[in-house]
Amino acid sequence: MISFPIKVYFRAVRLLLLFIVLAAVFAAFFTTGTALLQIGIFKMTQEGLAVAGRMAARLPLILFSALILTFTTTPLSLTAGLERLFTPLQKFGAPVPELAMMMAIAIRFIPVMLSEAETTLQAQQSRGADLYTGSLVKRGKNLLPLLLPLFIGAFRRSEELADAMEARGYRSDVSRTTFRLLRYGAKDIAVIAAFLLFLILITAYRWFL
């Protein structure tokens, strides 16, 4: 478990709040139904307000929960937990360990690719590339030359990773042990029960009320 300052969380939440507000406004004005308010060609409807209210209640729950999870859980712990959760699917032939490995590698590659993109951007600027002036379309065209070296760098790093895994004797056709064994405890069972109860209540409210 990772602790983080609450200011960091609210700094990340600001963009999510803007997204939620924009989504609610679009739902309120672009849903057909009984008009309540009209501003030019835009019309706020009663059905749109209902949709906006549901979105304003659901989106924060989903986004903020995911944000807290990613803020407090390391990528390795997250992939290990998902692998442990989906282990029963191996009885049906699902390649759960391979999928968990792919997820862990993909998460680890995100900062690597960001660093590669920053290096490529600085290299292009040192050669006189103008990436921040002109219209939006012009700046987009100026960024296109960055894609080829970025993809080449990504393939090069992936080949280096594959060679390193082969050198360490990694094989996908054999079972592997884990350094840290995950077991369900009382807190895990309580959280799962709480989420199941919440899911049942939401489903009952959705279909019977």
| Sign of the C-alpha dihedral computed for residues 171, 176, 180 and 184 taken in this order | positive
Taking only the tens place, the pLDDT of each residue in 182-194 is 777 788 788 888 8
Q: Which residues contact 83 (CB under 8 A, 6 or more apart)?
A: 96, 97, 99, 100
Query: What is the separation of C-alpha 96 from the centre of its chain, rounded to a whole number of angstroms?
Result: 20
User: Smallest Cα–Cα separation from 118: which of 69, 87, 153, 156?
Assistant: 153
Question: Would you say residue 3 has pLDDT above 60?
Answer: no
Q: Which residues contact 4 (CB under 8 A, 6 or more apart)?
A: 71, 72
Taking only the tens place, the pLDDT of each residue in 105-164 is 887 787 777 787 788 777 777 777 666 666 667 766 767 777 777 788 888 888 888 888
Token pair 């990773």 is found at: 161
Distance separating alpha carbons of residues 95 and 176, to the nearest angstrom? 13
